[in-house]
């Protein structure tokens, strides 16, 4: 799975895109996003929805891959 690159977007657009996808994706789905930095403001919204998340910095430090697994 290739992550959707949201690095060029202006906040809060990336958060809105991610939350919309979380709210419409099927249970058990896995979603991946490429972000410019760790999305700390997004975490409470993911936790409220029971979404498991993991993040990994790109080797060149150009962004963070956020992987979401829906309940």
For the stretch 54-67, pLDDT in tens is 999 999 999 999 99
Query: What is the structure's pLDDT at 53?
Result: 98
Rg (CA), the chain: 11
Query: Residue 1's pLDDT band (boundaries 50, 70, 90)?
Result: confident
Q: Which tens digit of pLDDT belongs to each residue from 4-43?
A: 999 999 999 999 999 999 999 999 999 999 999 999 999 9
The topology under which CATH files domain 4-69 is Translation Initiation Factor IF3 (3.30.110)
> 15, 40 in Cβ contact below 8 A?
no
Predicted TM-score of the model (pTM):
0.94
Q: Do the beta carbons of residue 42 and residue 13 sit within 8 Å?
A: no
């Amino acid at each position: 799975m290739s992550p959707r690159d949201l690095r060029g977007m202006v906040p809060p657009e990336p958060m809105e895109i991610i939350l919309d996808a979380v709210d419409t994706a099927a249970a058990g789905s896995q979603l991946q996003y490429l972000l410019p930095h760790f999305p700390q403001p997004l975490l409470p919204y993911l936790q409220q929805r029971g979404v498991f998340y993991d993040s990994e910095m790109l080797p060149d430090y150009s962004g963070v891959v956020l992987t979401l697994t829906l309940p």
